[in-house]
Chains A and B, each alone.
Chain A
Amino acid sequence: MRAGAIVILGEHAGEHAQRKAIGILGNGTPGNGTQPGNEEAEWLDGAPIASLELLGQSALRRTVNYLRQAGADSVSFVAKPGLSDVIANTCGPVGSHVLIDHSDVPGFVLRRVAEECLRNGTNTLVLIRLGAYVEYDLDDLLQFHRAKSKSVTRVYDNDGPLDFWVVDAARFSRGELDIFAHSDAVARYDRTSYVNRLVHAADVRHLIVDAFSLRHSIRPLGTEISPGVWLDTNAWLHPKARVAGPVYIGREVRVQSTAFVARYSSVESSCNVGCGTVVAEASILAHTYLGAWLDVSHSVVYGSRVANLRHNVVVDIKDDRLIRRIIAAPPFRRFFPGPREFQRPDRQSEPSTPAWQADDKKHER
């Protein structure tokens, strides 16, 4: 399974800008300029890193929030099958619209979405394959695109191209644009303020450390109970536990007696840190149980796995007395319209759809 994470932002040609953002989530490394990358990087714990909770909120959710603040009136996602739950759990409450891409035709769903935007009066689309976390000024990017008068603008950082484009909606919907082309037809935008490609566990640590060091705009959720120490909702510290910032303790976390969390560490929601355990320069992802008297340092821990950055290995800890996943209760699903299903264009039979999706059937082939 392979897909790209893309955000489409549309603008009216006329006076009133209509900003509708459409996000497309999937896996794969950032493109190398000619092809999207493989599907094993950018994933941890069975999900894209961009969808994992870091300092209380995923990069995906933060991107969506930014788009809304920048004026997007709705956000939709196109996802390959199997990823809709990831999006729903991450972005459901922000009024997202999820489109499931069953087609094997590259770009088919994207072009359909672009056609919709055109019908709604938009003429410029922003495509972001949601892998990297990028901070940028959306207005500046769109103005740059207009000023260059080229059909495609691609965003770059010091390490090369990002999977982030601004394109002409009409030409894109007709399949006329090759967004991976290296040519004078593509303008280069390199005025991003922060980029983290979120490819491996080390990038997770960089993002966390950079947040504590104020190198980007991400701030931990919760309350800063003392300088550099953030405590999120219902987090509990035993009176004999110690915390030395900068540190983030997530929602519903339990830090047991004589445990010590220190030095740019993050413990995400619903974790347990056992008695006497030390967490230093490490990130513990959500729903992880750490046993007693452990020393977790220079690592990213997710489920039963430890990605040790000093030794550059990932170890699966089979002894659940040491480390294990805490099985979470099924998340409460707020009601929002279910995903639209896009099938292969050559399929003869219509998929069965519930009555409340009936209106969407006219958009399907």
Chain B
Amino acid sequence: MKGKKSVSVVDLPKRLTLRHIQPFLFGIGELLSTDRPRIVFDLSQVREIDGAGTDMLLHCAEQVLRQDGSLNLASVPAEVMVVLELTRMDQLFEIFGSRSEAVENLAGIAS
């Protein structure tokens, strides 16, 4: 994970499916619990996402909001974007075309 100011960038794995999300959630649990987290999920490597994957994103957003933080999505591939729009998840997140744009957005909020 890389940081700029107080923003953390997380690269999501290739598969966000029922079988693969648990290890990922375990890995970022501590980050989601920090005070006022500023997190960018980089989805550029994601190739597959199902209902469990979108539920996971929602869970992360809930956790971040509870900590009075912010969560942006960045570099969403077209195929993943289709699923996010299908499940209306695109209305719950700010989605940026690149990692740097998402980080700049949160850095501006943090400062």
Contact = CB atoms under 8 A, between A and B. Distances in A.
Interface residues of B, number: 14
Contact of A321 (B17, B51, B81): B51
A311 interface: yes
Interface string A292-319: 0111110100000010100111010111
A181 interface: no
Contacts of B83: 315, 317, 322
A306 B88 contact: no
> What is the interface of chain B mostly: helix, strand, loop, or mixed?
helix
B79 A313 contact: yes
Contact of A322 (B48, B79, B81, B87): B87
Interface residues of A, number: 18
Interface in B56-83: 78-79, 81-83
Contacts of B101: none
A322 B82 contact: no
A296 B48 contact: no
A327 B98 CA distance: 41
Interface in B27-52: 48, 50-52
A313 B76 CA distance: 13
A294 B86 contact: yes
What 5 A-B pairs have minimum CB-CB distances, sorted nearest first? Answer: A319-B50, A311-B78, A319-B51, A313-B78, A308-B82
Interface of B: 17, 48, 50-52, 78-79, 81-83, 85-88
Interface of A: 293-297, 299, 306, 308, 311-313, 315, 317-319, 321-323
